[in-house]
Amino acid sequence: MPSRPRRLSVQTKVLLPVITFLVLLPVVVVWIVNGYISRQVHDEAATVLKTADGVFRHLLDNQSNDLLSRYRTTLENRGVVRNGYLDLVGLAATNTAVGANSVRSSLDQQLGGDTVVMLLSLDPATPPIGAKGEVPLELADFARASGGLSRAALRGEGGADWVTLDGMVLNVAALPIAQPDHQVAGALTVGARLGGATMQEFKRLTGAEIVILAGAATAASTLGAPGVALGGLPTDAAQEVVVNGEHYLALRGAYAQEASMGGFRYVLLSSHERSLRTLGDMRRTLAEVSFAGILLSAAVVWFFIRRVIHPLRELRDTAEAVGRGDFSRKIGRLANDECGDLAEAFNGMTTNLQASRAELEKTVETLKATQTQLIQSEKLSAVGQFVAGVAHELNNPLTAVIGFSDLLVQTSTDDKIRLHLERIAKNAHRCHKIVQNLLGFARQHPPERSLVAINGAIDEVLDIMAYDFRTGNVAIVREFQDDLPLILADRHQLQQVFVNILSNARQAIQAVRHDGRIVIRTQLSAALVRIDLIDNGPGVRPEHLSRLFDPFFTTKPIGKGTGLGLSLCYGIVQEHGGTIRAQSELGQGATFVIELPVAPESAQLRDTDAALAPGGRRGGAGRRVLVVDDEEEILALTRELLRADGYEVETASSGEHGVAAVRRTRFDVIVSDWKMPGMNGIQFYEHLLATDRAAASRVCFMTGDVINDSLQEFLRLQGRTCLPKPFSIKDFQDTVADLSERGSG
Amino acid sequence: MRLALALGILGLGAPGLSAGSITGTVTAKGPSVAASSAGGEYQSHRYSLAERIDYDHLQDFVVYIDQMVEGGGAGADPATVTQRNVSFEPHVLPIAVGTKVLWPNKDDIFHNVYSMSDTMPFDLGLYTKDEKPKMLTFGKVGRVDVYCSIHSKMHCIILVLPSRFFAKADARGRFSIENVPPGTYKLTAWQEHVPPSFQQVTVPAAGGVTANFILGFADLPKY
């Protein structure tokens, strides 16, 4: 597996934010909830404290009132138990020790419970007689502290208040002792200590710890010794404090009754410990649940991502494999979702790619073959050009050889010499034919339809290939039907078809035997001309038979054949509206059958007319002919020929000379070469057109070159004729005779 | 005084010198332990102010014949209730109707002995030990609660009974009434804090009869 640049996997990309979110969410939630609950708890505790404060004050008031009521009841009681307070007043008034002791013992007996001190006053001036319980309290201090109340009681107004004294909180009530006539005889002042039991009761009722302060010290407390200076707390605001290692919310207050001289400060404490513990528990539980949730969620997310990623990874691996060219890799397990679709699409793509690639490879191979063919073709084309050039060069000497030999044959009297001359002429003609064929074949032909005699066309091919057959020990058997109708075809294309088939046959035969034989049979069957080409070669394998005409199908070794030959044949025959087919049995040779439609009736007739046109030879006596050619041999030959016909012949070796000659003399016929150095045939003709139109109308051309399209067009437009070199004497004579007759006539 | 006593004895013995005794025990018993310990309404806050009675340590049981008895009149000698250490001694004083009671003050301070009872309301006024003890004659049967006006915790009960046939049980609750003329009597056991109880007893001419009392709320009749 190729190493990839480091990057985050999708798993990480999804997991990270999810986990971050999962972590952040509980953190934020815990933070918010914690804050909220803390606030709530604080508020609740504060509210509780406020309530407790109210209750506490109420309790204090009640306590005061209770004390007051209790003694008021006692004082006013006239029930079964007679109160002896008036007696006590009387005893006190005796101002004796016994009296005072009696009073003291009486008061002492009434002490008990919370009641720790009692005073009996007769009037503000006299010091009161009192008794106290076992408390660290000076009666004098108490008398001073409760003086106001006592004086009020002496005035007949009972009242109660709270005072702090020597580190004690006392509930003080003072009541008048009235005589039956409602005259105040004295006052009873009672001090009840705010004791532990009461404090516990208060604690129970208020639901808060209570610490009562006397100055800086603690007068009473439900907490034991607080150990912390609570006096410094601000009032009217709950505040957290730690007392004896426990958390409390504390509220400080001051208590005093109206018109009081006493009063005290206190601190109510509501335990915060449980709330804090609950809060802590809540936080911990939340954290644990969150942690578990995070783990679970992460696992679930991981699992699902894995499930999603797994096909993707497989897809990636497969894609890589396919990228390397391994088309056999397929994604196996298909999930029933988008991934499955993707995998399916991917598999489809892979298959298509495979097919495309195979096709592409085939195409590339085809292209290579085509290129080879093209190169071959170019080579052939070059050879063709070369051959055309050579042929043209050969034409001129051949014209001279043919012309003079013909001339000699006509003039010779010695039979033996004439026989020899005829041989020369015959072979020169043969050379001419060979050159002509070469030119025709090498030439690039635009497709053109003309009436073609199929036998002649085949003969031409056989002529070209005669050498091949001869050297390959292949005998050609011509079984031609003579009176075949013409067909409308491109002669050269048809000839190419025959060349291809015949050379294939020759090659096939040559490889296996030395007594090759090709039968070429032509016959008319219905409206078709049928050509059978039968060889006795090795035949074609059955499996190859159907592909025989496919392009680039070849059984020849690489470089020997292009596989285009028969394909081309097939294309050509098809274009001509014919059919080509092959029949073969392995070892029994092959037969190619070509059927071509016969040309329509009208075309046959017209051609026949043309063919029948007579070309009589007439005498050229008294007629003047100008021959313009750069070849001295041609000039000599034509001079001889025309003079023999009685013409007056003048020759010019170039266009310029020709022009000069025309200017000098009137000619009945002007024969000009096509290609000449300096002024060529066309220029010469155009010059004549410009200067002597009549002379121009008597011009005829001759050329050793192929008569190409542009020349043909020119000739057609100007109504001129052209003699292809080399020409026979007869052709030349006929042409000149035609022209001279036209010119004169 | 001795004469009076002798007269009394004579008087008792006069009908024929036959007499019996009534002996027995008197104790108090609270509600069943299970009921009290298990709580119940008695233990609830609602009854928190109710007087709790320590049944095991109740004192001052008095057993007496609750009817006029021939020859059961009061003796001549006065009984005494002393005021000492800011309390009355004894706390409960059973006497036959018509008995005199002396009220000496042995403290250094004043006391004011009074009673507002229906049986015998009185007010002796403030006096010290220096003064002559005051004496009162209780001529009516009934219970007289006596207090000191300046010492609210001072309290004693004078139980004025129809005859002199009564006895205070000792610390273990044993009592004995001697020289009771034979006959059938209504015998009552009394204690300050619990309801009284009575039995019908028949005193034989010779020997005695036994009567045991268990006072308390357990055997109260159900209504």
Q: What is the pLDDT of residues B100-138, one digit of tens each?
A: 999 999 888 889 899 988 888 998 888 888 888 888 999
Averaged pLDDT, A688-698: 83
CATH 2.60.40.420 for domain B74-162: yes
B12/A contact by beta carbon, under 8 A: no
Contacts of A84 in chain B (CB under 8 A): 112, 148-152
**What's the mean per-residue pLDDT of chain A?**
80
Averaged pLDDT, A390-410: 80
Minimal C-alpha gap between A283 and chain B (Å):
42
**Higher-scoring residue by pLDDT: A243, A652:** A652
Averaged pLDDT, A588-610: 71
User: Among A277, A343, A357, A282, which residue's Cα sits nearest to residue A310?
Assistant: A343
ipTM over 0.90: no
What's the pLDDT tens digit per position in A715-729?
Answer: 888 888 888 777 777
Q: Name which of A382-391, A622-631, B74-83, B125-134 the model is least confident about.
A: A382-391
Instruction: Considering chain B, tell me which residue range(s) the CATH 2.60.40.420 domain(s) occupy.
Output: 74-162
Nearest to A91 among B126, B145, B154 (CB): B126
Contacts of A101 in chain B (CB under 8 A): 108-109
User: How much is the pLDDT for A360?
Assistant: 92
Q: What is the DSSP string of A403-449?
A: HHHHHHHHH---HHHHHHHHHHHHHHHHHHHHHHHHHHHHS------
- Inter-axis angle of helices A491-512 and A454-471, to 10 degrees? 30
Q: What is the rounded end-to-end Cα distance, in angstroms, of chain A?
A: 98
User: How much is the pLDDT for A390?
Assistant: 78
- Cβ pair A520, A533 in contact under 8 A: yes
- Band the pLDDT of A325: cuts 50, 70, 90: confident
| C-beta atoms of A84 and B153 within 8 A | no
- Band the pLDDT of A442: cuts 50, 70, 90: low
Task: Kindly tell me if the per-residue pLDDT of A64 is higher than 60.
Answer: yes
What's the pLDDT tens digit per position in A150-187?
Answer: 888 888 888 888 888 777 888 888 888 888 788 888 88
Q: Which residue of A has its CA nearest to B109?
A: A102
Averaged pLDDT, A260-276: 76
- Band the pLDDT of A336: cuts 50, 70, 90: confident
Contacts of B120 in chain A (CB under 8 A): none
Report d(CA B132, CA B124) in Å as an integer: 12
For chain B, residues with pLDDT lower than 50 are: 1-16, 34-38
User: How much is the pLDDT for A441?
Assistant: 61
Instruction: Scan residues 56-95 of A and list those with Cβ closer than 8 Å to B.
Output: 79-84, 87-88, 90-91
| C-beta atoms of A102 and B114 within 8 A | no
User: Among A733, A376, A337, which residue's Cα sits nearest to residue A554?
Assistant: A376
- Cβ pair B160, B97 in contact under 8 A: yes
The three-state secondary structure class of A487 is strand
Q: Name which of A103-117, A197-211, A693-707, B26-40 the model is least confident about.
A: B26-40
What's the pLDDT tens digit per position in A288-310?
Answer: 888 898 889 888 888 888 877 77
User: What's the CATH number for A78-193?
Assistant: 3.30.450.20
Q: Which residue of A has its CA nearest to B126?
A: A87
A615-744 CATH pick, 3.10.20.30, 3.40.50.2300, 3.40.640.10, 3.30.565.10 = 3.40.50.2300
Q: What is the DSSP string of A363-388?
A: HHHHHHHHHHHHHHHHHHHHHHHHHH
User: How much is the pLDDT for A19?
Assistant: 83
| C-beta atoms of B108 and A81 within 8 A | no
User: How much is the pLDDT for A692?
Assistant: 82
| C-beta atoms of A98 and B149 within 8 A | no
Contacts of B151 in chain A (CB under 8 A): 84, 105-106, 109
User: Among A88, A73, A103, which residue's Cα sits nearest to residue A185?
Assistant: A88
Report d(CA A675, CA A678) in Å as an integer: 9
Contacts of B116 in chain A (CB under 8 A): 79-82
Pairing of β B92-96 and β B155-161: parallel
User: Among A677, A686, A674, which residue's Cα sits nearest to residue A712?
Assistant: A674
Nearest to A102 among B145, B150, B152 (CB): B150
Domain segments of chain A as ranges: 78-193, 445-600, 615-744
Q: Name which of A3-12, A29-38, A53-62, A441-450 the model is least confident about.
A: A441-450
User: How much is the pLDDT for B88?
Assistant: 92
User: How much is the pLDDT for B70?
Assistant: 81
Instruction: Scan residues 42-101 of B and list those with Cβ closer than 8 Å to A.
Output: 86
Nearest to B109 among A84, A101, A110 (CB): A101
Q: Name which of A225-234, A547-556, A585-594 the model is least confident about.
A: A225-234
Averaged pLDDT, A102-131: 85
Contacts of B128 in chain A (CB under 8 A): 98
Nearest to B116 among A80, A91, A106 (CB): A80
Contacts of B86 in chain A (CB under 8 A): 105, 109
Interface test with B, best of A77, A80, A83, A87 (most B CBs within 10 A): A87
- Cβ pair B179, B21 in contact under 8 A: yes
| C-beta atoms of B149 and A84 within 8 A | yes
| C-beta atoms of A84 and B86 within 8 A | no
Pairing of β A209-214 and β A217-221: antiparallel
Identify the CATH homologous superfamily for domain A445-600.
Answer: Histidine kinase-like ATPase, C-terminal domain (3.30.565.10)
| C-beta atoms of B150 and A99 within 8 A | no
Contacts of A106 in chain B (CB under 8 A): 150-152
User: If you compute the radius of gyration of chain B from its CA atoms, what whole number of angstroms results?
Assistant: 20
A106/B contact by beta carbon, under 8 A: yes
Contacts of A83 in chain B (CB under 8 A): 149, 152
Averaged pLDDT, A593-615: 60
| C-beta atoms of B148 and A84 within 8 A | yes
Phi, psi of A668 (to 5 degrees): -80, -35
Q: What is the DSSP string of B159-222?
A: EEESSS-EEE--TTSEEEEEEEPSEEEEEEEE-SSS--EEEEEEE-SSSEEE--EEEESTTPPP
Highest mean pLDDT among A342-346, A364-368, A574-578: A364-368
User: Among A602, A606, A604, A578, which residue's Cα sits nearest to residue A592?
Assistant: A578
User: If you compute the radius of gyration of chain A from its CA atoms, what whole number of angstroms results?
Assistant: 73
Minimal C-alpha gap between A65 and chain B (Å):
20
- Cβ pair A725, A671 in contact under 8 A: no
Task: Kindly tell me if the per-residue pLDDT of A691 is higher than 80.
Answer: yes
| C-beta atoms of B86 and A90 within 8 A | no
Contacts of A91 in chain B (CB under 8 A): 110, 126, 150
Report d(CA A162, CA A176) in Å as an integer: 18
Nearest to A82 among B108, B111, B114 (CB): B114
User: How much is the pLDDT for B103?
Assistant: 92
| C-beta atoms of B152 and A99 within 8 A | no
Nearest to A98 among B108, B114, B148 (CB): B108
Averaged pLDDT, A457-474: 85
Residue with tokens 């002597």: A692
Interface test with A, best of B110, B116, B123 (most A CBs within 10 A): B110
Q: Name which of A196-205, A348-357, A447-456 the model is least confident about.
A: A447-456
Averaged pLDDT, A520-537: 88
A115/B contact by beta carbon, under 8 A: no
Domains A78-193 and A445-600 belong to one CATH topology: no
Q: Which fold has domain B22-28+55-71+166-217?
A: Immunoglobulin-like (2.60.40)
| C-beta atoms of B148 and A90 within 8 A | no
Averaged pLDDT, A28-44: 84
Nearest to B152 among A81, A90, A102 (CB): A81
| C-beta atoms of A102 and B148 within 8 A | no
